[in-house]
Structures are given as structure tokens and as C-alpha cells.
Amino acid sequence: MNAVQLTEGIYCLPVNLESYQLFEGMWPMPNGISINSYIVRGEKTALIDLVEDVNNKPADFEAELASIPVTFDEIDYLVINHMEPDHTSWLPTLLQKNPDLTFYVTTKAADLLKSFYGVSENIHIVEDGESLELGAGKVLTFFETPNIHWPETMMTYEQSSKTLFSCDAFGSYGTLDDVYFDDQLSTRQHDFFLNEALRYYANIVSSFSTFVLKGIDRLEGLDIQTIAPSHGIIWRENPQAIIESYARFASYLKGPAEPEVTVIWSSMYGNTERLVKHIVQGVRMEGLPVHVYQVPDEHVGAILASAWKSAGLILGMPTYEYEMFPPMAWVLDMFRRKKIWNKKVLRFGSAGWVGGAQREFTKLTEGLKWDFIEPIEWKGAPTQGEFDVAVKQAQLLAKNVKAFCQA
């Protein structure tokens, strides 16, 4: 691959991670992900963010750098917007190639630079709003945007091109293969990247939604013509679209989210499963979109995106040894970690011979700010009575969701 030119003197160096890998060691990437570094060349040259040292990916990065062409000793500054290893783990090798690099980082990033890589020299700690002149009209300005999604994070703005290098903010899953900008996307591709942005947000960023909104406010007043994130497509035709999408995603924390219902169910011997079609029927009677996921067959990474977007949740699980069916307990723990808050919720499931799932469900959902309707629970196998109640309660849940979203 060659480097991709954004404008005169500014280049993207995208490296793709394949779909067989797990992002952050746990999130499936069926469509892979790109890691985007950037070169800004004036009289001086800055490299913004780096590449992960995995599966010989730095070789792709080196080939792209050479295509500009830029040699390692021509790089004067390494701007680190974010210290997570997918953006920094190749740093020790880069330092061997250019030991005279000057680092531009936040105060907290400087601490991490030392603890991760033992680097404590040639470090310039930026102040919020500080600028670095590269010459030939290129000026970088740094804005601290902490906790999107690590505490040391900042964004970098190039003044002449009005390009925002936003690191993990405004990113998405999905590789970059011959199409790099939003104005090159078909409608299908555009929808794909927005959907992958939601899944990426729910997996990686959702816990920090309050800080996302603060970060967006911090950028207010900037004339942004291009958003160049560290993952996913570059937005230059309509950069406001991805900003608005992220603001909308962040707003789901306090709710309401979208007038949709996500059904998540698990079953040991089919007794809980037998209610699912009746649950779906009840939701559809109110005309709401309904998304259905079976656990553990489907990964929580996909479930999170749907649950984050939906104002209503219906969760089905049986009792297992006096507690909740363990795969569903993992889903609920992830909901806690990722702050799946302020939802309208119904729970259903077989109580086996003695029950206990509802007790643990109540405990695990404390603090999630969920509004519950009466659960559906029965011993052994369900009867027609449970089927009828399932339709009724799912319809009631859907009505509550509509009222919530219209309020």
C-alpha cells in the first residue's frame, strides 16, 4: 500500500488488522479495523500516532512512509494523541531508527510513556491549546480531551487544512481498502461505516459518554473541514455527520435511546426459548423494530451495540443452580461496565425447579437505572398461560418504550 494524501503535505498511513484478530483482546472484528497514522510535512515533519507492533504490520507502515517519501531521520516530532498500545507499541523500534525524536504529549501521557516504554527524554508536555509551527504554513494545535477513552488523550488540529486528528474519537471498525474518504463511499458503504462506528462506540467508548460530550464541546468553534481518526474512514465531505453521530450515541447514556427493542435470550433445554417468538410478537404489535440475540451463540460485542441503541431491553434466561444462567450473567456484567443505562426492561425465564435467576438478575442490575415491568417466570415448562402473558408484557414494554422516546 501507498500512503494516502489528504492534502498538500498531509498523508494517512493506514494499516489493516484482519478479521481473525480480537480487538483489545476480546472484541470480534468481522470486518477488521484500520490503524491510521498521519504525516504532516512543513519545513519540519510530524508523525501523528503510530502503529501496533503485531503480525508484521509495521512493515506495511514502513512501505507507506517510503512511498511519500519520508525517511525516519526526517521525522522531527512524534505526536502521541493516545498511549494505548495499538497506537504506540512499535515505538521502541521507531526510537532505534530515530533516537532524536521529540515527543509531544500531555502530562498524563508522559507518565505512561515512561511506564510503558521507559522513555523519559526529549519529551515536550503540551498545554491545552498550545501550537507547534512546522513551517510552510503548517501549524498543529493540541486540545486535551481526557477520557476519550484514556485519561491522557488529546486531539491535534492542523490549522491550514482545518484537519482534526481525533485519535479514537469518531473512529469505527472496518478496514480501509482502496476507499479512504467518506466522499468515495457508496450508500451501502456509508451505512456500513456508520453501523461499525456504533459497534465500535458501544464496545470501546460508551463508558466514557459524558467525556465524549465534553470533548465535542471543547472543539466548538473550530472550523473542521476534515476529521482524520485513528480507526476507520476519513470524513472530509461531511465531517459534521460523524460528530453528530457520536453526540447522538453519547446521548443514549441518559436516554432515551432509539424507539427499538433488543431481545437477548439464552436457554438450556428450550423452556425459556419457547417464549421468544411470543415476546417478539408482542413488540411487533406496537410497530417497533426488534433485534434478537441468542447467548452464548452471539458475542456480547454485537449485543452491546444493539442494546446501547435501543430504549427497550427484554432479557430471557433460566435459573441455573439457584442463580442466573452464567452466559447471561456475563452479558449483564458487561452492561454494567459499559453503562447500558436508562432502559425500559422486561425479564422472562424458566425457574427450573426452585428459581433464583430473578434474585441474581435484580442484584446484577442495581445501579443501571432500569425501569422494569413485571417479569415472567414459571417452574418447568411454559404453558399457554405464559405464552399469552409474554405477548401482553412485551406489548406493554413496547408501549412504555414509545412513551419514553416521545416524552
DSSP labels, 376-405 = EEESSS--HHHHHHHHHHHHHHHHHHHHHH
Q: What is the CATH number of the domain that holds 399?
A: 3.40.50.360
Question: Is residue 25 located within the same domain as residue 142?
Answer: yes
Query: Is residue 105 located within the same domain as residue 242?
Result: yes
Q: State how beta strands 33-41 and 10-17 pair.
A: antiparallel
**pLDDT band at 270, cuts 50/70/90?**
very high
Q: Are 276 and 223 part of one and the same domain?
A: no
pLDDT tier for residue 19 given thresholds of 50, 70 and 90: confident
One-letter amino acid at 291 equals H
Res. 266 pLDDT band, cuts 50 70 90: very high
Residue in the structure block whose three cell numbers are 453503562: 339
pLDDT band at 353 (very low <50, low <70, confident <90, very high): confident
Is residue 20's pLDDT more than 90?
no
DSSP letter assigned to residue 14: E
Sign of CA dihedral 72, 103, 158, 53: positive
Q: Which of 251, 272, 305 is the last residue of a domain?
A: 251
Domain count, the chain: 2
**Where does the pLDDT of residue 182 fall: very low under 50, low under 70, confident under 90, or very high at 90 and above?**
very high
Rounded to 5 degrees, φ, ψ at 107 are -60, -45
Helical axes 300-309 vs 187-200, angle rounded to 10°: 100
**Mean pLDDT computed over 311-331:** 96
227, 363: one domain: no
The predicted pLDDT at position 44 comes to: 98
Confidence (pTM): 0.95
Q: pLDDT-based confidence at 152, cuts 50/70/90?
A: very high
Bridge-based pairing of strands 154-158 and 163-167 is antiparallel
7 strand-pairing partners? 10
Say whether pLDDT at 407 is over 90.
no
pLDDT at 98: 98
Long-range contacts of 28-34 (CB under 8 A, 24+ apart): 28/299, 28/301, 28/302, 29/173, 31/173, 31/174, 31/175, 31/192, 31/196, 32/173, 32/174, 32/175, 33/173, 33/174, 33/175, 33/200, 33/231, 33/232, 34/174, 34/175, 34/176, 34/231, 34/232
Query: What pLDDT, in 10s, does the model give residues 71-114?
Result: 999 999 999 999 999 999 999 999 999 999 999 999 999 999 99
- Residues 221, 291, single domain; the answer is no
Sign of torsion over alpha carbons 53, 55, 61, 66: positive
Which cell goes with 240?
A: 459534521
> What's the grid cell of residue 278?
411470543
DSSP letter at 2? -
160-181 burial code (b ≥16 CB/10 A, e <16): bbebbbbbbbbbbbbbbeeebb
DSSP 181: B
Average pLDDT over all residues of the chain: 96
Positive or negative CA dihedral for 77, 80, 83, 87? negative
pLDDT tens sequence across 383-395: 999 999 999 999 9
CATH assignment at residue 188? 3.60.15.10
Contact present, 153 and 82 (Cβ < 8 Å): yes
- Of 236, 251, 266, the residue at which a domain comes to its end is 251
Q: Are 108 and 80 in contact (CB under 8 A)?
A: no
pLDDT number for residue 107: 97
Task: State the average pLDDT over residues 56-80.
Answer: 97
Rounded to whole angstroms, how far apart are CA atoms 23 and 376?
Answer: 37
CB 164 within 8 A of CB 228: yes
Q: What mean pLDDT do residues 242-253 have?
A: 97
**What pLDDT was estimated at residue 21?**
82
pLDDT above 90 for 368: yes
Stretch 270-286: mean pLDDT: 98
* pLDDT for res 166: 98
Strand partners, 264: 293, 315
Query: What is the arithmetic mean of pLDDT over 130-147?
Result: 98
Same domain, residue pair 236 and 324:
no
| Statement to judge: residues 126 and 161 lie in one domain | yes
Does the pLDDT at position 1 exceed 90? no
- Of residues 272 and 1, more confidence is placed in 272
CA distance 221 to 291: 38
120, exposed or middle or buried, with CB in 10 Å at 0-12, 13-18, 19+?
A: exposed
Q: In whole angstroms, what is the distance from residue 341 CA to residue 250 CA?
A: 11
pLDDT band, residue 275 (cuts 50/70/90) = very high
* Shared domain check, 59 and 19: yes
Residues 114 and 57 both lie in one domain: yes
- Answer yes or no: is pLDDT of 205 > 80: yes
Residues 76 and 211 in one domain: yes
- Helix then strand count (H, E) for the chain reads 12, 22
With a cut of 80, say whether residue 40 has pLDDT above it: yes
Q: Whole domain around residue 240: which residue ranges?
A: 4-251
Tell me the C-alpha distance between 103 and 111, whole Å.
Answer: 12
Cα gap 380→349, rounded to integer Å: 10
Looking at residue 247, what is its pLDDT? 97
If asked whether residues 148 and 210 sit together in one domain, one would say yes
Q: What is the pLDDT of residue 195?
A: 95
Specify the pLDDT at position 380.
92
Same domain? For 331 and 391 the reply is: yes
Please say which residue of 206, 229, 251 terminates a domain.
Answer: 251
